């Protein structure tokens, strides 16, 4: 296709096809990353929960210990 000045201009469809060509592969890579992260997330959340509970327990025990030590 030629413009008024005689220069070759890629068609809109060709430009869209070129842009679209790499997208399926990118989408598949992202799906794989999401699947991997979805497997990693529950154990990390469980560990975080346990650490929070441990910290609360230590704070409670420490508070009770130091309150009793002042008597």
Q: What is the pLDDT along the chain (71 residues), one digit of tens a residue?
A: 455 555 556 799 888 998 899 999 999 999 999 999 999 999 999 999 999 999 999 999 987 777 776 55
Neighbouring residues of 9: CB distance < 8 A, sequence distance ≥ 6: 1, 2, 3
Are 26 and 16 within 8 A, CB to CB?
Answer: no
Q: Taking the domains of the chain in order of start, what are their residue ranges?
A: 12-69
Residue linked to tokens 């096809």: 17
Are 3 and 9 within 8 A, CB to CB?
Answer: yes
pTM of the model: 0.58
């Amino acid at each position: 296709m030629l413009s008024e000045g005689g220069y070759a201009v890629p068609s809109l469809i060709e430009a869209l096809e070129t842009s679209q060509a790499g997208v399926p592969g990118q989408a598949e890579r992202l799906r794989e990353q999401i699947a991997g992260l979805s497997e990693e997330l529950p154990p990390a959340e469980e560990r975080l929960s346990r650490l929070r509970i441990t910290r609360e327990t230590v704070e409670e025990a420490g508070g009770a210990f130091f309150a009793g030590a002042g008597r």
